[in-house]
Structure 1
Amino acid sequence: MQKKLREEPQKWSMDELNRLSVEEYKEANKLPVVLVLDNVRSMHNVGSVFRTSDAFRVEKLCLCGITATPPHREISKTALGATESVVWQHYPHTIDCVQQLKAEGYRIMAIEQVKGSQKLDATAFPNHPKTAFIFGNEVFGIHEEVLKHCDAFIEIPQFGTKHSFNISISVGIVLWHYFISGKEK
């Protein structure tokens, strides 16, 4: 008979996870980050971004152009209720959203592969109280007119054959990097 080396792992119960209610979430301090989705076509991606936004407690999610808005069954499938907790706003044109955020003092950072962009792993986020990250369309990226209004350009390093991550994966990677860079305090 083989000796048991360690205890069997036990998952946390929902009560032990101690998650906030929607009401508590709305009152809680938020990460000083706004996410801007520029003409994102997949509603599953939109739902996933809602869910990730909830997990990191982002301040607001801006859904621009053709990006679908709640309520919608396809968004709800991946959002799992996060459309109720995360503050969001729709803008018919991304440029209007970006100009408003700039006027409110946000530093606009495009997550895009452009000449001169910084690699995410080499990016130290300045101690800026307000940051907006823009994520573009799954095929075309961020519209060129919008790029002209950005303060910085960041790309996520990749080492395989594909040229990009799925937008919902990119959002998670960028928020995690921002979070561990000390902005969570």
Structure 2
Amino acid sequence: MEIQQSHYEFKSAPIEHQIVLMAENIRTPENMGMIMRLSEAFGVEKIYFVGEHAIDLTTKVKRASRNTYKTTNYEFLPEGEDKIKKLTDSGYQSIALEITYKSKPIQNFKADQYKKTVVIVGSERQGISEKLLQLCENHYHIPMFGNNSSINVVNALAIGLYKVTEKINKA
């Protein structure tokens, strides 16, 4: 008897949330592809890749995305400030996944009345720009237990999307 279930037999959980992702100044093709793959896995409705360093859909991006680039809704924007304002005006809460002076541990994220959330992640080098941080209602960080203060943007996004979808779907 086989124990492992095939990917074709597995049924995903129903989506009870509306999550939009904003990824600012992502430079690495593999990270861009993995962001698409993670977003698809967590039911993200749209990804906005913002900033001056937009990456084309190279072979590396496509390979890392495991073909989710074909089914993921995404858009490239030169800047994200106007989009954040439009999303929050239409009822989305905004959360920055970044270490800031006012950030709280991600496990303290509260969905409250919100089922609509925009999650913002930043570049591999500088994180989220000060302009976008100023527009975010809430800042959350991932507590670290080693000497390093950060992890790869894709790994951080995986943890962040897991916690956000967990809390929203329980609300």
Regarding TM over 0.5, the answer is yes
Structure 1, unmatched stretches of 5+, are: 1-6, 20-27
Which residue in 1 is equivalent to 2:131? Answer: 145
Q: Give how far 1:180 is off.
A: 1.9
Q: Give the residue type in structure 1 aligned to 2:9.
A: E
In the alignment, the residues of structure 1 paired with residue 104 and residue 162 of structure 2 have an alpha-carbon distance, to the nearest angstrom, of: 17
Considering only aligned residues, what root-mean-square deviation do their CA atoms show, in Å?
2.1
CA, structure 1 residues 184+77, in 2 after alignment: closer, same or farther (shift >3 Å)?
farther
Larger Rg over CA atoms: 1
Compute the TM-score of the two structures, normalised by the length of structure 1.
0.82
Q: In the aligned structure 2, how far is the partner of 1:102 from the partner of 1:180?
A: 21
One-letter code of the match for 2:115?
P
CA displacement 1:122-156 (0-9 Å, x = unmatched): 22222213110100011111110111111110011
The aligned amino acid for 1:119 is P
- Tell me, yes or no, if the aligned pair for 2:96 and 2:119 is still in contact at 8 Å: yes
How many residue pairs were aligned? 169
Relative distance call for 1:142 and 1:91 in structure 2 (3 A) is same
Q: What is the rounded CA distance, in whole Å, between the counterparts of 2:139 and 2:35 in structure 1?
A: 20
Partner residue, 1:40: 26
Change (3 A) 1:103 1:163: same
Identity %: 25
1:1-185 map, 5 Å:
10-17=3-10, 31-65=17-51, 66-69=53-56, 71-183=57-169
Moved over 6 A (4+): none
5+ unaligned residues in a row in structure 2: which ranges? Answer: none
Structure with larger RCO (C-alpha < 8 A, sep 6+): 2
| Aligned mates of 2:97, 2:44 — CA distance in 1 | 17
- Structure 1 residues 163 and 43: alpha-carbon distance in aligned structure 2, compared to 1, 3 A threshold: same
